[in-house]
Chain A
Amino acid sequence: MPENNVINVDEIMEQIRAEIKSKGLDSSMLSFEDVPFDKETAASDVEFSPALLKQSMDYLGARNQLEPYKQLTGNPVTVFIKKVIRKLLKFYIVPLVTEQNAVNYHTSNAVRQLGSYVSGGNGIDELTQRIEMLELRQDEYRRETDALRKKLNALAEENKALREKV
């Protein structure tokens, strides 16, 4: 497939880097790596997500009843043989599916109830997260204060130099 280079990206980036240098811009900021998280948590104990819970509950609600009769595929002979086998096993499969459907129905209800209970509130988690957040904000403010202090010092130096000139 043909390339269509019409923009000189290197030139633009050079201009931008020169601008950053001339203005003395500094891109240091709180990094993503500074944000703590528990790396050890396995998939089995993932953080609670109301959206995911709702999604799974919706799925359970819609699909908890199994259907013992699946569409049979293959050529007519295969389909016929499969139909015969299905008929022969009907006495065994259908009661099993009925029993399983009852279990699924109650499991679905239980999960729904648990979902309602959980979404009722989880104060400790919220407070922990808030403290963590405030600490991070504090770090960021500290960085900003340091940057401002640097600027202030530079201005004071400039002021001093100007006064000396005058």
Chain B
Amino acid sequence: MKIVQFLPTLAFGDAVGNDTVALQRAMCELGYETEIYAEAVDQRLPKGTASDLCGGMPDISEDDYIIYHMSTGSKLNYSLENYKCRKLMIYHNITPPHFFDGYNAEAATNAQYGLDGLRHLAGKVDYCMADSEFNKQDLIDAGFECPIDVRPILIPFKDYETKPDASIIKKYSGDGWTNIIFVGRIAPNKKQQDIISAFCYYKKHVNPKSRLILVGSYGGMEKYCNRLKKYVSALGLEDVIFTGHIKFPEILAYYHVADVFLCMSEHEGFCVPLVEAMYFGVPVIAYKSCAVPWTLGGSGIVVDSKDPAELALLIDRVVSDSSLRQKMTDGQKKRLEDFTYEKIKALFARQLSNFISGDVK
């Protein structure tokens, strides 16, 4: 018996790719024979991590198990049903297509293809794991009636012990400036424009010695990114940094120099950067939407307003009130304990073993 993970793209450094590789490691540690297959495999991953499907679909017997990572439109959404073995789907969420309207027609079409694929898969998998309660509800809304359990993304925190980039730390720390950061792809659903307007108010009316650092790749979202840059210029705003795609030690360095993590996203299936902010002790202010409140689990500060003045004064409160900061980071640290590698690995092992023994409800 072996367990085969399938996914459309095994990318280097993204949440789904990291989860897949971490699960493979966990399954090996648990003694399962396991393989990964993807339509596209990022060349930066160590050789042998996964096989691509260019040579056709692999042979899988009825005694084997499939774990399918669902996060986008793919032919796999329609072809995995041909296998007769039992199937487990891990749902990472699909960004609704309307967010991409006007920015990237291909992304919008693919998201729609993904949502169609999701509805098609309802009734064709035996068990689902969802990254968050929000994702679980999404599955129910899409017509899934099989057992669904919540299992947060498996994050190997050990990776965060990597040495951060020294030049970034040197450049942005110790100068008395306040660094506000957001980490995540530059994408319309993440609403970076609301971060910019809040920062604009903060910098112009509260603290001129502040900078906003938007960490994340804008590949495929150039049009949205250009519009954001135009917005920054039109506001006459300085000290807004778009890092673009950067290396992992550089991302870690930005967490090290951050004073506040500001998230205004309106669609997240889990939001790994929130957990990263918890790990690095950066107080989080986030907009109440999608999976964000669940991931924060009562820690950080969740707001239901995007008013720039309110957010600016809130940032100021978090930056200047050390007792509030302490409470926030303590709460976040407590929540972080729910996402430790050991805890999630144990949860996954339990859910997987129940699935294999046919004991899921």
- Name A's B-contacting residues (CB within 8 A): 1-7, 9, 12-13, 16-17, 19-20, 25-27, 29-32, 34-35, 37, 39-44, 46-49, 51-52, 55, 62-63, 70-75, 78, 129, 132-133, 136-137, 139-141
With A and B bound together, what is the CA distance between A25 and B310 in angstroms? 10
Judging by beta carbons under 8 Å apart, are B298 and A74 in contact?
A: no
A-B contact pairs, 23 of them (CB 8 A): A7-B301, A7-B328, A12-B324, A16-B313, A20-B310, A26-B309, A29-B197, A29-B200, A29-B201, A30-B231, A30-B235, A35-B230, A35-B234, A43-B105, A46-B104, A47-B226, A51-B219, A70-B54, A70-B55, A71-B55, A74-B59, A136-B234, A140-B236
| 20 additional A-B residue pairs with CB within 8 Å, beyond A7-B327, A43-B104, A49-B222 | A2-B297, A4-B299, A4-B335, A5-B298, A6-B327, A12-B301, A26-B309, A29-B201, A32-B231, A34-B234, A37-B223, A39-B102, A41-B102, A49-B218, A51-B218, A55-B219, A63-B43, A73-B51, A136-B233, A139-B234
Judging by beta carbons under 8 Å apart, are B298 and A41 in contact?
A: no
Q: A16-B314, A20-B310, A70-B54 are in contact. Are A29 and B297 (CB under 8 A)?
A: no
Least CB separation from B192: chain A residue: A32
Interface residue B58 (Cβ < 8 Å from any Cβ of A): yes
How many whole Å from A143's CB to the nearest CB in chain B? 10
Per DSSP, chain B at the interface is helix
- B201 / chain A contacts, CB cutoff of 8 Å: 27, 29
Judging by beta carbons under 8 Å apart, are A4 and B298 in contact?
A: yes
Least CB separation from B132: chain A residue: A1
Least CB separation from A141: chain B residue: B236
Least CB separation from B339: chain A residue: A1
Interface residue B126 (Cβ < 8 Å from any Cβ of A): no
With A and B bound together, what is the CA distance between A148 and B220 in angstroms? 40
- B314 / chain A contacts, CB cutoff of 8 Å: 12-13, 16
- A136 / chain B contacts, CB cutoff of 8 Å: 230, 233-234
Judging by beta carbons under 8 Å apart, are A16 and B310 in contact?
A: yes
How many whole Å from B154's CB to the nearest CB in chain A? 15
Interface residue B210 (Cβ < 8 Å from any Cβ of A): no
Judging by beta carbons under 8 Å apart, are B309 and A25 in contact?
A: yes
Judging by beta carbons under 8 Å apart, are B59 and A75 in contact?
A: yes
With A and B bound together, what is the CA distance between A51 and B226 in angstroms? 13
Which 6 residue pairs are nearest across A and B when measured between Cβ atoms?
Answer: A136-B234, A43-B106, A27-B309, A3-B298, A32-B193, A39-B102
- A39 / chain B contacts, CB cutoff of 8 Å: 101-102
Judging by beta carbons under 8 Å apart, are B324 and A7 in contact?
A: yes
Q: A7-B327, A7-B331, A32-B197 are in contact. Are A27 and B308 (CB under 8 A)?
A: yes
Judging by beta carbons under 8 Å apart, are B236 and A137 in contact?
A: yes
Selected contact of B227 from candidates A25, A30, A35, A140, CB within 8 Å: A35
Selected contact of A47 from candidates B200, B223, B307, B334, CB within 8 Å: B223
With A and B bound together, what is the CA distance between A139 and B236 in angstroms? 11
Q: A32-B197, A70-B54 are in contact. Are A52 and B222 (CB under 8 A)?
A: yes
Judging by beta carbons under 8 Å apart, are B302 and A4 in contact?
A: no
Q: A3-B298, A63-B43, A137-B233 are in contact. Are A16 and B219 (CB under 8 A)?
A: no
- B275-307 interface (Cβ within 8 A of A): 297-299, 301-303, 305, 307
